[in-house]
Structure 1
């Protein structure tokens, strides 16, 4: 059994992070200075830059501030932005997280707010360190996966190896989430055939069709120049590679950012905004998608890359699985798993999948990933819009 941090709301975390969250870009510098001067690898910066209110941003921030890996929350507001700071503060406290609020316009400006913030972080860290430890089973884990910087090796090495790992985790009762619906165009009928109900299958097809419409109208998709340079030739080819991360388990549900899986199983996260495409609503950022997975409760992220993405994330550790053996040799310090050895005949997909599974367990037990050791704590939150999911999306919960 793993040892986890037991939160007052009953959830269990594998890290004990204090988050400092800015609520408008005008407060970003002050919040960043607080985190930098705190000089603590487990104090992380998150935030929303916009001044205009956005329900999606509030939902995601509420989910993050109540995430099981979070042990304390400091909100940094300028004072005149439209973000609902009271709702965020109240929700964090309702989840049992020690939480404080600083308003720069009331605290006396930059220097005084930074000093007050450092004092607040010290209090929050002391409170977080009092969190009791409790046993945690694999069936209590939530694991997300994304791919970034994909090339022609991704779909034959790292991605299917993650799929094998997912199958083992699902069998053990964990909740596993795959996403990037814009990178699953062409795979919708295959995924629908794996849905636990026909109604869920229809929802999956509809969400991928929405992604195709969205990208057609916006005039761009998830197929980047770097993907082509790496040997991928079509969106469908890239989609099949991305799809292989899902493994072979039945798909138990379809969720949207901020929704939590109701239990163990495999879930698809729809990350393409609902409604008409709008300026400022693109969906091609790996770190935005990592944040959305974490907002769904992911304790950690399995990130596959062929070209060599080096990012991590705030709040939840990122395990980097490198698909290309040449990339691994160049960037080995940023990678956790060399899946490229499959291509060179030095290992098989099942063996690498087992290695990833063991690393998931070790990371849940406290082992630091490469991105954590290097200090990667990337975070992006932008404007989006989502409608609530319908009952057909979570037949497990409906049952």
Structure 2
């Protein structure tokens, strides 16, 4: 099995980046978190924009903990104003159990904003000093987890970028990696195809239930929601089912081991190598955080040429649209559209790029134009109203 160079974490996981995650558990501390983060190029800010209340927001709470555990995170600082229901220790303590560096700050207990920023910067400097002493080591590829996502989809997505990424996913799994797909809403109409790939009846039932749940959430009577973007339509897509069949290509052909749930009660993670579906949202910023919470090291992003970035999980952008090709794109497979490149050739380019990024090479726009670290959650009131079925862990 091939190797890559990474950083061993105390819990045995391996990171390919050394990020310092600064979490603002309530939006009132967002400005404080960003002021602290200015002093380190390794710092990333994750803010809970929903509310400082815990009840009803357990899904964001679970994500804050699991994103902190992502292997690409070397240490965390958790901030709170001090008057909300989410205590910073509730986030930090489960992370501390992994052996990761953690610190907490409460603005009201530290004498206010300026004092909290000053103290936070000192903690940040200590974590930076720790990072500088970390050494790269060789690890086998079975330590790596790759997420796959699409956006800015057009005709070239279904013909070039999605199929080439799907073929790459198969190759990565054969090399020992774990790969995770999501966006269940955009797999409508693909149920029967997915059922045939399920490793068991239980997984098959889970696929059906969770796709139907996602369809119900976005189809509440009297509240029409746009699910096809203008870019999709101009790019030649006509229905969500047509979009789904194109999107399915990026999922490869390997057996589906499970569907990883992300909800108010728990977040499931891969238990062995192979391919997984998941409840990673179709919404881009939220998807990046979802994948970070699932433990992904890298995201493969297929597109008609749109860019997307996440500050914790490097994003490899793959496009087959020569008309919109730009410097954001990491892998150009437009020759597939022209008939001068095969799907397997495109897949080989993607596999090579994954190995490069895993070994420390930055993506084309890594650290440029990162999307907001969006904590997306399902509204518990709507969940109750729809009387959705759930699958026990």
TM-score with structure 1 setting the length: 0.89
Deviation at 1:226, TM superposition (A): 2.2
Equivalent positions of 1:136-215 (< 5 A) are: 136-215=139-218
Per-residue CA deviation, residues 169-227 of structure 1 (Å, 9 max, x unaligned), is 11122110000001000001110111111221121122112222222115225322221
Deviation at 1:140, TM superposition (A): 1.4
Report the Cα distance in structure 2 between the residues aligned to 1:132 and 1:377, rounded to whole angstroms.
29
**Contact 2:79-2:104 at 8 Å conserved across structures:** yes
Give the aligned CA root-mean-square deviation in angstroms. Answer: 1.8
**Contact 1:22-1:31 at 8 Å conserved across structures:** yes
Deviation at 1:110, TM superposition (A): 2.4
Report the Cα distance in structure 1 between the residues aligned to 2:31 and 2:161, rounded to whole angstroms.
37
Tell me which residue corresponds to 2:81: 78
How many residue pairs are counted as aligned between the two chains? 374
Seen in structure 2, the aligned counterparts of structure 1 residues 159 and 212 have a Cα distance that, compared at 3 Å, is same
Segment of structure 1 superposing worse, 381-390 or 350-359: 381-390
Q: 2:308 aligns with which of 311, 335, 340?
A: 311
Equivalent positions of 1:336-355 (< 5 A) are: 336-355=330-349
Report the Cα distance in structure 1 between the residues aligned to 2:69 and 2:134, rounded to whole angstroms.
14
**Contact 2:142-2:178 at 8 Å conserved across structures:** yes
**Contact 1:314-1:377 at 8 Å conserved across structures:** yes
Report the Cα distance in structure 2 between the residues aligned to 1:340 and 1:22, rounded to whole angstroms.
41
Deviation at 1:97, TM superposition (A): 1.0
SS at match of 1:186: coil
Q: Which runs of 4+ in 1 moved over 6 A?
A: none
Q: 1:300 aligns with which of 298, 301, 305?
A: 298
**Contact 2:184-2:282 at 8 Å conserved across structures:** no
Tell me which residue corresponds to 1:366: 360
Per-residue CA deviation, residues 114-140 of structure 1 (Å, 9 max, x unaligned), is 222211110111123333433211111
**Contact 1:71-1:131 at 8 Å conserved across structures:** no
Per-residue CA deviation, residues 272-301 of structure 1 (Å, 9 max, x unaligned), is xxxxxxxxxxx5521101211111110010
Report the Cα distance in structure 1 between the residues aligned to 2:194 and 2:392, rounded to whole angstroms.
18
Deviation at 1:373, TM superposition (A): 4.7
Equivalent positions of 1:24-103 (< 5 A) are: 24-35=26-37, 37-40=38-41, 42-49=42-49, 50-53=51-54, 54-103=57-106
Deviation at 1:377, TM superposition (A): 5.3
Q: Which runs of 5+ in 1 are unaligned?
A: 272-282, 392-399
SS at match of 1:74: strand
Per-residue CA deviation, residues 315-336 of structure 1 (Å, 9 max, x unaligned), is 11111112311111xxx22110
TM-score with structure 2 setting the length: 0.91
Tell me which residue corresponds to 2:21: 19
Question: Given the alignment of the two structures, is residue 122 of structure 1 paired with residue 105 of structure 2, yes or no?
Answer: no
Tell me which residue corresponds to 2:7: 5
Per-residue CA deviation, residues 330-370 of structure 1 (Å, 9 max, x unaligned), is xx221101122211233221111110011101100001002
Segment of structure 1 superposing worse, 244-253 or 205-214: 205-214
Tell me which residue corresponds to 1:322: 319
Report the Cα distance in structure 2 between the residues aligned to 1:113 and 1:374, rounded to whole angstroms.
27
Seen in structure 2, the aligned counterparts of structure 1 residues 377 and 14 have a Cα distance that, compared at 3 Å, is farther
**Contact 1:335-1:370 at 8 Å conserved across structures:** yes
Segment of structure 1 superposing worse, 373-382 or 119-128: 373-382
